[in-house]
Amino acid sequence: MLADDIVVVDGGDVLAGPRCVDLREPVPGLDLPTRAVRDATRLRVTLPGIAPRLPLGGWLFLRWGDGPALTPVGPADLLARLAARRSLPELPSDPAALLALAGLPGYDLTRPRDWAALDATHRLLDAALSTPATTTPAPPAPATTTPAPPVPASTTVAPIASASTTAALIDTAATTPAGAGR
């Protein structure tokens, strides 16, 4: 996990966030060391160290559904989604940088509200992220001295790293289901 709650993009890279994640409930089957935070409403798990920045490889928008599925998001829809999720839209931005980000692959990742489906969802993602894209993504925008505004999600943004790229996971689900806390 590279970041939780917000993704900061600088050129074609994603910057690492704080090395912790706050869960609503324990992860079944894992005995992770946690401490209560946010008035004891969350369990904080410390994450291992990671590179401070990784190349951005694409976008995954998380959704709840019946089973694991990965559906491509077209560039125009992706551009609209990314623009709508800027956390500080009042700041100026570089339209070319936003277009470059929208030129990367984008997918809706649908998964069940059940921890038992995590392995199948992981296998689906692993297969998709390890397969080269059939289209050539737009080149990343040049790095700037000021990072691009963060891209927030309605509830979760949690980038994951594959072998050479990072796909930013954007959770558009409004709530976390019982038994599937994050």
- Interval 119-139: pLDDT, tens: 999 999 999 878 655 443 444
Does residue 9 surpass a pLDDT of 60?
Answer: yes
Smallest Cα–Cα separation from 177: which of 8, 22, 24?
Answer: 24
- Interval 62-84: pLDDT, tens: 999 998 999 999 999 999 999 88
**What is the rounded distance in angstroms from the CA atom of residue 85 to the CA atom of residue 91?**
13
- State the pLDDT at residue 158: 35
**What is the rounded distance in angstroms from the CA atom of residue 78 to the CA atom of residue 105?**
9
- State the pLDDT at residue 30: 81
- Interval 131-167: pLDDT, tens: 655 443 444 444 444 443 333 333 233 333 333 344 5
pTM exceeds 0.85: no
- State the pLDDT at residue 47: 92
Overall average pLDDT of the 43-47 stretch: 93
Q: Do 156 and 7 form a contact (C-beta atoms < 8 A)?
A: no
Overall average pLDDT of the 42-52 stretch: 93
Enumerate the domain spans of the chain.
6-15+50-171
Instruction: Give Cβ neighbours of residue 75 (< 8 Å, ≥ 6 apart).
Output: 102, 103, 106
Q: Do 88 and 150 form a contact (C-beta atoms < 8 A)?
A: yes
